[in-house]
Structure formats: structure tokens, C-alpha cells
């Protein structure tokens, strides 16, 4: 009997370019590939953004879609669970301070986004055009602004976790309410695909927990959706 494998996929940078739609050829391949498999999506984004990126057909036909780092769970298009996390005045003041001292001078608005179970923060702002998003991403890789904000936030708010997500933002949520919480629902062999699997990235908690619990698993750290596609084509599963 063939071993059952649970496939876990991040979205941004793994199935799609960051905040952009999935490639049509990959979309067609992936929609057919997920049939008769246990496939889970795990993303920091909300339902609406995820559907914009991967399409309604894929989103409704995976085994489960874990939105907001697993703080909102959807199955067959139906909401089955969610955990709220409201923005406090203290946290809002912290964000305003980070905006005022940021060395990145261009700001585009929508800096603080409240999602179910997490808050997304971006100094450049989520309204930035794609070319500015790319510029910030490369600048941040050198200057480590997001990493430094995460470190400072967790020092000031010990009950919270902060991690780098996508190209321009960080995800903030209560301790333990990260992507690794989905592993409470999933047993057996796990193949996990993500692009932010290093320490400090929002995919890392899954990797850390899988390794700590010595689960039967494989980790696929990818640099682009094209790499994900190439791996899936070679898996022969």
C-alpha cells in the first residue's frame, strides 16, 4: 500500500510570486496535481488575498486552507475555526514609532493590517507598487530592518511573536499562534514547501517543530514558484 503523504504549502514565494497571481500553467498543473492528495495551504494572508493569488478552484479543493498563520481554518469553502487578536493601543504606538524612525523614506499607506489572529505590519506600506516592493525587499536584505523590528517588538512585548513574511512585512501574533499550530491537526508523513524556512521567517516554526518532534518529513526550501513546480514534477507521487 502506497504511503500517504500530507503536503503542506506556503503561498507567497512558494506557489505564487509575492502578492501576485499564480502562473496560469502552474495553476492548471497544481489544480490537477492536488486531486486525491492530502494538501494543505498555510499562509499569513487572509482568505480574500489567497484566492486572488491562487484562484477559487485550488483554494476550495485543497484539504484545508489555513489562513493568518493557522488562526483561521477553512475546509471545503466553509469556515471551521478562528482565533481573534485585536490591535492594542500599546502595539499601535510601537508601530507608529517604527514608522517614524524607519530609514526607508517612501511610504505608501496601509502599514498596519489586522487579520484574524494576527497583525501584519509594513514600514513601506502594503499599498506600494510592485517595483517599490522589489526595491524595499532588496534594501531590507542588506539593512535588515524587518529583522530588527521583530527583535525589538518581542523584547517589548514578551507575549508576542514576530516573524518576517513575504517581501515587505512582518507577522505579529500571540506566542504559539504561528504556522506550526497546524501540526496539531496533521499526523503522518509531511512534505513541507516554503520559502521563509530560515530562523526568523514565518515558515520556520513549522520546520523547527517538525525537527524537534522528529516527525517523518521532508522540507523543501524553495526560492520561487518555478522551483516548486520543478520539484512536484519530479516527485512522481
Distance CA 129, CA 164 (A): 20
Does the annotation count 140 as an active-site position? Answer: no
Does the annotation count 203 as an active-site position? Answer: no
Q: Please identify every residue annotated as catalytic.
A: 10, 12
Amino acid at each position: 500500500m502506497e504511503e500517504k503523504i500530507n503536503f503542506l504549502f506556503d503561498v507567497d514565494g512558494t506557489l505564487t510570486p509575492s502578492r501576485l497571481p499564480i502562473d496560469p500553467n502552474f495553476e492548471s498543473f497544481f489544480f490537477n496535481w492536488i486531486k486525491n492528495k492530502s494538501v494543505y495551504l498555510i499562509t499569513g494572508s487572509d482568505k480574500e488575498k489567497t484566492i486572488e493569488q491562487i484562484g477559487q478552484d485550488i483554494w476550495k479543493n485543497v484539504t484545508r486552507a489555513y489562513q493568518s498563520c493557522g488562526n483561521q481554518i477553512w475546509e471545503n469553502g466553509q469556515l471551521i475555526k478562528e482565533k481573534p487578536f485585536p490591535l492594542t493601543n500599546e502595539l499601535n504606538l510601537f508601530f507608529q514609532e517604527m514608522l517614524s524612525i524607519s530609514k526607508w523614506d517612501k511610504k505608501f499607506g496601509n502599514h498596519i493590517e489586522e487579520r484574524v489572529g494576527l497583525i501584519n505590519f509594513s514600514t513601506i506600506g502594503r499599498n506600494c507598487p510592485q517595483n517599490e516592493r522589489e526595491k524595499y525587499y532588496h534594501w531590507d536584505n542588506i539593512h535588515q530592518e524587518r529583522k530588527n523590528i521583530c527583535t525589538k517588538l518581542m523584547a517589548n512585548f514578551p507575549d508576542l511573536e514576530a516573524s518576517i513574511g513575504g517581501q515587505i512585512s512582518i507577522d505579529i501574533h500571540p506566542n504559539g499562534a504561528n504556522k506550526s499550530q497546524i501540526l496539531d491537526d496533521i499526523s503522518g508523513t509531511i512534505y513541507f514547501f516554503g520559502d521563509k524556512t530560515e530562523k526568523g521567517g514565518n515558515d520556520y516554526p513549522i520546520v523547527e517543530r517538525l525537527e524537534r518532534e522528529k516527525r517523518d518529513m521532508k522540507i523543501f526550501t524553495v526560492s520561487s514558484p518555478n522551483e516548486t513546480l520543478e520539484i512536484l514534477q519530479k516527485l512522481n507521487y
